[in-house]
Structure 1
Amino acid sequence: MKSFDVIVIGAGVIGSSVAYHLAKKGLEVALIEKGGVASGTSSRCDAVALICDKKPGIDTEIGYASIQLFKQLAKEFSVDFEFASRGSLYVCETEKELEIAKGYVSQQAKDGYDMRMVDSRELKEIEPYLADDLAGGIWTEVDSSMNPYKLCYAFVEEGKKLGLKVYDYHAVQDITLDAKGRVESVVTDQGTLKTKRIVNCAGVWSPKIAEMVGVHIPIKPRKGMVLISEKTPFKVASQKVHEFGYMLSKFEDIQFKRNVSELVEKHNVAFTIEPTDAHNFLVGGHRAFKGYDIRSEIEVIRAIAERAIRFLPVLKEINCIRAYAGVRPWVEDHLPIVSEVEEVPGFFIASGHEGDGISMSPITGRMVAQLITGEPTDFNIDKLNFSRYQNKKAVSL
């Protein structure tokens, strides 16, 4: 029976990063994935690392530090994961949204993050195809983009150079504990691997893995759809552009009601567009709780298109060539879980990043490696400890 210092479950962007950083510490690491690398949520998402879509606090801090680390990794890794610092633009539709945005920018500026308000004239200078009647927005040059598929493979390929073993197409069936309740082994459909430490990076499937050791993780899959455009002979947008309402739809505790159609409201759609290196673009966004269903929905496609055309009228003349959906690992306080589970020594969780997995992946991976090797973590992550959910019951899917 093969034995490893650490076994990482889940080869999405978080698991791949964790596995790489553990291997970099000189540990013997196995990465187990029920499908192929990046075959889950990381293959059905957008492609950005943002700080502008986060509330002030620990998630913004991790997001910003991750972008700085991405810049370094882009130079070091042999796989080009198409990292680019394009910046991003948040667009306010109304004066009321603009006032909320000013308060947000003021707080982020106090924390040292470079973002600024722009008026309606500057909006058109930055992105000429935007609608003429928008109130203003937020611009930051920090936000970046990359290819999430290639990012996962970049982490994995660099990890392999350091001795990482990848067990793709191995479905985890059980986790065994020793007589003292410590992690002992991982049982897959193709054999058993011994270890004293497991990192559960299975995203929306993390609760299923945790159930194997009697732990309930309150993560729910939150669906999101994306539309893909045809190639265009001109740049519809030069950077990530989203409506400020995207943030207001992301965080349920922000009390604000947009003036949108019944269709848009019904499907919790907010405009976002993202250019790619393939000379087309991704259009979203959408949030819904529908279990693990990743089927495309015609009504949602219509709602996304309607909202996108409102902000970028030129999109009426451009074809959508396909659509896809994915599910994000949602937790109610919108903060990931990054910690060991006290009741099960050797069982760690790095999950619940929702739509911020890419944004936080490099620093999350590095901090998990620091936790396991007993080093101080880059940030105080007490707020990310699983203990905050120990009194929560399993979430209904």
Structure 2
Amino acid sequence: MKHTEVAVIGGGIVGCAVAYYTAKRGVAVTIIEKDELASGTSSHCDGNILAIDKDPGFDSQMSLKSQELVDQLAKELSLEFEYRQPGSILVCETDDEMEAAEKWVKMQKEAGLPFRMLDRSDLRQESKYLADDLPGGLECASDSTVNPYMLTYALFEEAKTYGVSFLKKTTVMNINFVNNQYLIETDQGSVTAKYVVNCGGVWAPKIGEMLEIPIPIFPRKGHLLVASRQVPVSPRKVMEFGYLMSKFGGKRQVDAETERYGVALVFEPTQSQNFLLGSSREFAGFDIDVNWDVVTCMAKRGIRFYPKMSDMNVIRMYAGLRPWTKDHLPIVSKVDKYPGYYIAAGHEGDGISLAAITGKVISEMISGDKTSIETDPLRYDRFNKEVYV
């Protein structure tokens, strides 16, 4: 039987960030992962560290703090993870969206974030391949991008220098709380721990059930296309303003299929000279099979904003699952019912963006220190029973 002070369940980017920041404080940490590092959502997503798509106020401030931490990680981690900070933009399709964007920028600037409006000429300078009829958009200068797979491994490799151990291909079968410690039964033997951090992502509720802890996280499916970049389409991350409405459940002026699948333009150039094209959002359980109707819809949406894309080749496509919560904020919290039990999950499409601040906050909670950000909006007990229905 193995003993550890902190057992982190889940070896995605959030779990590795928790392990890194906690072990850095001199605490013994073990990651338990049912497959390999970054084998779930962390390897089926883009690599954005964004504030541009966050609600002004707590949400955007949390993202800004995480951006600052990722900038520090780029200096302190031994392995590189394709970190760049080119900023990002949202493009508007209509004059109504431009009016809404101006209000969005005003609120974000009042919150202290580096936002500014862009007009039609700004878009032409951004990329000659953007559609001519777009009236403008907005920019957030602090947004950055990483390779999520590489960042997960960089965090883990650095965590190993602080003594973190890793149990891969190890499935947690049951958890009991006995004599003020946790007995974690796996298919590879048992582990005891003083603290448990549930970083299971879309599988966090299954881990919670082992101690009768209902966790209101649900899988939300999303597709990505990987295309070859015959021409330099755009130098940085570009999304449509309608992405905000797709993310938060608002109504857009789009066709029924685009609305049904929550499709919105997300363009991201990679360091390997290809580009990623998204995005879609649908509740389809744990199904990650590629839906060709969704792929076709996404391709059409990309061509609407970048007509030149019609001549470009798709290399591959895949789907992943986002851990969705009703209020679009993650759960980063202790669970009062069980001392030493924490949840760090439910980031939806912001797991890459918020992994660093999540890991740091959990390490601070375990150590009993003041947290780097306010955590009340992230509390587990903010949900009521209607969410579980």
TM-score normalised according to structure 2 size = 0.98
Residues in 2 aligned to 1:105 and 1:321: alpha-carbon distance in whole angstroms: 36
Q: Secondary structure at the match of 1:359?
A: helix
Aligned partners of 2:370 and 2:273: how far apart in 1? 43
Letter aligned with residue 352 of structure 1 = G
Aligned to 1:139: 139
- Secondary structure of 1:26's counterpart equals coil
Aligned position for 1:321: 315
Q: Report Cα offsets for 1:58-85 as digits up to 9, x if no partner.
A: 2211211111111111111111111000
**What is the match of residue 342 of structure 1?**
336
For residue 185 of structure 2, the aligned residue among 183, 187, 199 is: 187
- The Cα shift of 1:237 comes to 1.1
CA distance, structure 2, for counterparts of residue 369 and residue 244 of structure 1: 35
**Equivalent-residue separation in structure 1 for 2:332 and 2:107 (angstroms):** 25
TM-score (norm 1): 0.96
Asked if residue 71 in structure 1 is aligned to residue 71 in structure 2, the reply is yes
Match for residue 369 of structure 2? 375
Find the counterpart in structure 1 of residue 345 from structure 2. 351
Q: Percent identity?
A: 45
Q: Which structure 1 residue ranges, 5 or more long, are not aligned? A: none
Q: Distance in 1 between matches of 2:292 and 2:387?
A: 34
The residue type paired with residue 190 of structure 1 is Q
TM-aligned CA deviation for residue 321 of structure 1: 1.4
Pick one of 224, 243, 246 that aligns with 1:246: 243
Which residue of structure 1 lines up, in the alignment, with residue 153 of structure 2? 153
Letter in 2 for 1:147: N
Residue by residue, what CA displacement relative to the aligned partner does 1:82-138 show, whole Å, maximum 9, x if unpaired? 100011110000000111111111001001000100111111111221000011100
Deviation at 1:243, TM superposition (A): 0.3
Paired residues, number: 389
Per-residue CA deviation, residues 143-167 of structure 1 (Å, 9 max, x unaligned), is 1111000010011000000000011
Match of 1:57 in 2: 57
Task: Output the CA distance in 2 between the equivalents of 1:128 and 1:169.
Answer: 48
Which residue of 2 is the match for residue 384 of structure 1?
Answer: 378
* Partners of 2:354 and 2:80 in 1: CA distance: 19
Aligned AA (1:344): Y
Contact persistence 2:126–2:234 (CA under 8 A): no
For the structure 1 residues 201 and 321, does the alpha-carbon distance in structure 2 shift closer, same or farther, using more than 3 Å as the test?
A: same
Gaps of 5+ in 2: none
Q: Distance in 2 between the 1:311 and 1:34 partners?
A: 40
Shift of 1:30: 0.3
Asked whether the 8 Å contact 1:218–1:392 carries over to 2, the reply is: no
Residues in 1 aligned to 2:361 and 2:259: alpha-carbon distance in whole angstroms: 38
The C-alpha deviation readout for 1:291-338, integer Å capped at 9, x for no partner, is 111110110010000000000000000011110000000001011101
- Structure 1 runs, 4 residues or longer, greater than 4 Å off: none
Q: Which residue of 1 aligns with 2:267?
A: 273
